[in-house]
């Protein structure tokens, strides 16, 4: 796991403030964090931006004003579970994430660690970013999710119970496999028809008899 920003512990996000003393910088960060979390009831509030290679995080401890940001890499269950150990024994920890690919395992690991996951609707979250004045980055997205959650503006989505998620995943997989099965049957039939195979119907290719029917099919005897 790597950390983004050598001054992340103090929350220094702008090189322009590096000229200030450490005490002034700490007070500045404290004022910003407290103002952002005035409406929050959580002891720790944060955001996680999910990608296939890494998970970018940004969170604030409400009582101390301590701000942390960084990344968990590679992005998998084991590394995420190891990172979540830091919140053992801490109450009212909540993290926001967008409902994109990978959100399920992140939410499950957070629940297992006693952290409350909050799912955000991707399209509405993107609209709340407003016009981009600078390049989009993972840590900027994580910070935005944290700020939306802290101020109660997160466009939340319902997270179904685990059994419902399992049923949904199985149905989606069956639907995808069924579509691929039909597509391959049509492709095989088209290839055989292109070769002039005699008396081959597409219907048997979609059944368990498909392999035997296909093995018995042959092109017209006159072909060379």
Indicate the burial class of 130 (C-beta count within 10 angstroms; 0-12, 13-18, 19 or more).
exposed
With bands split at pLDDT 50, 70 and 90, how would you rate the model's confidence at 82?
Answer: very high
With bands split at pLDDT 50, 70 and 90, how would you rate the model's confidence at 135?
Answer: low
Task: Say which range, 38-42, 74-78, 149-153, 191-195, has the weakest mean pLDDT.
Answer: 38-42
Q: Where are the beta strands (DSSP E) in 17-161?
A: 44-50, 55-61, 67-72, 93-98, 116-120, 156-157
- Look at residue 83 and tell me whether its pLDDT is greater than 50: yes
Task: Considering only the C-alpha atoms of the chain, give the largest distance between any 2 of them, rounded to a whole number of Å.
Answer: 92
Q: Of 11-15, 102-106, 183-187, 207-211, which one has max mean pLDDT?
A: 102-106
Measure the CA–CA gap between 167 and 187, rounded to whole angstroms.
30
Global pTM exceeds 0.95:
no
Token reading at 45: 């509030």
- Look at residue 133 and tell me whether its pLDDT is greater than 80: no
With bands split at pLDDT 50, 70 and 90, how would you rate the model's confidence at 54?
Answer: very high
- Look at residue 109 and tell me whether its pLDDT is greater than 60: yes
Supply the DSSP symbol for 15: G
Measure the CA–CA gap between 98 and 101, rounded to whole angstroms.
9
Instruction: Give me the helix-helix angle, 77-84 and 103-112, nearest 10°.
Output: 40
With bands split at pLDDT 50, 70 and 90, how would you rate the model's confidence at 179?
Answer: confident
- In this structure, the chain runs to a length of 224
With bands split at pLDDT 50, 70 and 90, how would you rate the model's confidence at 132?
Answer: low
Whole-number average pLDDT of the chain: 77
- What pLDDT is attached to residue 169? 87
Secondary-structure percent of the chain, ordered helix, strand, coil, rounded to 5? 50, 15, 35
Of 124, 122, 129, 131, which Cα lies nearest the Cα of 147? 129
């Amino acid at each position: 796991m790597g950390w983004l920003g050598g001054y992340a512990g103090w929350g220094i996000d702008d090189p322009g403030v590096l000229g200030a003393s450490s005490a002034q910088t700490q007070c500045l960060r404290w004022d910003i964090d407290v103002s952002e979390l005035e409406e929050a009831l959580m002891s720790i509030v944060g955001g996680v931006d999910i990608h296939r290679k890494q998970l970018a995080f940004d969170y604030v401890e409400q009582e101390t004003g301590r701000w942390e940001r960084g990344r968990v890499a590679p992005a998998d269950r084991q590394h995420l579970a190891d990172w979540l150990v830091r919140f053992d024994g801490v109450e009212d920890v909540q993290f926001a994430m967008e409902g994109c690919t990978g959100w399920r395992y992140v939410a499950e690991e957070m629940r297992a660690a006693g952290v409350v996951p909050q799912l955000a609707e991707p399209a509405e979250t993107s609209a709340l970013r407003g016009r981009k004045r600078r390049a989009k980055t993972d840590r900027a997205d994580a910070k935005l999710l944290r700020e939306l959650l802290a101020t109660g503006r997160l466009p939340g989505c319902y997270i179904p119970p685990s059994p419902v998620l399992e049923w949904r995943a199985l149905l989606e997989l069956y639907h995808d496999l069924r579509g691929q099965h039909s597509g391959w049957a049509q492709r095989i039939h088209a290839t055989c028809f292109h070769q002039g195979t005699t008396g081959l119907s597409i219907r048997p290719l979609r059944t368990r008899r498909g392999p035997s029917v296909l093995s018995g099919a042959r092109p017209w005897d006159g072909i060379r």
